[in-house]
A = this chain, B = another copy of it.
Amino acid sequence: MSAPSTPVDTVDPGGLAAALSALREGAPLVQCLTNVVVAQWTANTLLAAGASPVMVDNPQEARACAGVAGGVLVNVGTPQEETAAAMTEAVAGAAEAGTPWVLDPVGAGALAWRTRIAHDLLGRHAPAVIRGNASEILALDGGTGGKGVEGVDAAEDAMPAATALAHELGCVVAVSGRVDHVTDGERVVRVSNGSPLLTKVTGAGCALGALMAGFTAVVADRLVAATAATAVFTLAAEAAQRAARGPGSFAVALLDELDRLQPAAVADGVRLS
């Protein structure tokens, strides 16, 4: 897969719209090593947005796949010995090929084994993006404040940890919350779109992490990539909420709206600060 080719160097509404156009045009192959709870939902989210999911999470094939993918998602939501080994292989393959990879440290801090897995992966090869809630980001930076897979800290509380991680690893850190925060250690972008129904659908954050892997495949500036994924996902969520009666119909409508979302609507609707 070719290197990211769309230069978008400022995080402004037009750049995020261009990123969505690039995703649709490139339809990048996104390898997902994710948890069994959200695998279908994640693949359908990527398809709806315009990317091409490939859910290869076994140790035999994960490394080669990461070598040809446009982006790789590693989500530690339901690790087992074999899928954890596959994550190591995928990160090795990403390192060899220069494929950007995204870490979603689901439950880090609250659960010990996956916290070690996440730290081990980070020590092998720096990711393009880390996406988590405040608790998870605090835990990755050495904090012990993890309070479960559903974060209870506000995103802004994790920004010192996010900035430190971004500097240490040379990556982007995205902290999900009522207002999403994205930083590369220097710049900080806040996206205040979204819907409270996102907290009633399992794997909303997981799907967002997968979209970030998709955008890193087509956008060179990883701050823009992570922000574009956030804007696209949360704008689709706003539209979905208008069509929904509850969390079931919301999740369905979110896929419809991801498919329907136009780049111009991203530029018009995103609320950055």
- B-binding residues in A (CB < 8 A): 29, 35-41, 43-44, 47-48, 52-58, 60-61, 64-65, 77-83, 107, 111-114, 148-150, 199-203, 243-249, 251-260
Task: Give every chain B residue within 8 A of A41 (Cβ-Cβ).
Answer: 40
A44, B80: Cβ atoms closer than 8 Å: no
CA distance A38 to B256 in the complex (A): 19
CA distance A255 to B244 in the complex (A): 11
- 13 pairs from A and B in contact (CB 8 Å cutoff): A35-B55, A36-B36, A36-B39, A36-B55, A47-B247, A54-B148, A54-B149, A55-B77, A61-B112, A64-B112, A245-B256, A246-B258, A247-B256
A44, B253: Cβ atoms closer than 8 Å: no
Answer whether A251 and B37 are a contact pair too, CB < 8 Å, given A29-B148, A56-B111, A82-B80.
no
Task: Give every chain B residue within 8 A of A65 (Cβ-Cβ).
Answer: 111
A246, B255: Cβ atoms closer than 8 Å: yes
Closest to A84 in B: B58
Cross-interface CB contact of A148 among B38, B52, B259, cutoff 8 Å: B52
Task: Give every chain B residue within 8 A of A260 (Cβ-Cβ).
Answer: 245-246
Q: Give chain B nearest CB distance to A66 CB in angstroms.
A: 12
Answer whether A200 and B47 are a contact pair too, CB < 8 Å, given A40-B40, A57-B78, A61-B111.
yes
CA distance A52 to B150 in the complex (A): 8
Cross-interface CB contact of A249 among B64, B113, B256, cutoff 8 Å: B256
Q: Give chain B nearest CB distance to A232 CB in angstroms.
A: 14
CA distance A35 to B254 in the complex (A): 24
Extra inter-chain contacts (18) besides given A80-B82, A249-B255, CB under 8 Å: A36-B39, A39-B78, A40-B41, A40-B203, A43-B203, A44-B201, A47-B200, A47-B247, A52-B148, A55-B78, A57-B78, A64-B111, A81-B82, A82-B82, A246-B258, A248-B252, A249-B256, A251-B255
A201, B47: Cβ atoms closer than 8 Å: yes
Closest to A261 in B: B246
Q: Give chain B nearest CB distance to A151 CB in angstroms.
A: 12
Task: Give every chain B residue within 8 A of A245 (Cβ-Cβ).
Answer: 243, 253, 256, 260
A58, B256: Cβ atoms closer than 8 Å: no
CA distance A174 to B8 in the complex (A): 44
B248, A200: Cβ atoms closer than 8 Å: no
Task: Give every chain B residue within 8 A of A114 (Cβ-Cβ).
Answer: 61
Answer whether A60 and B246 are a contact pair too, CB < 8 Å, given A80-B82, A81-B82, A203-B40.
no
Cross-interface CB contact of A79 among B58, B148, B199, B202, cutoff 8 Å: B58
Closest to A29 in B: B148
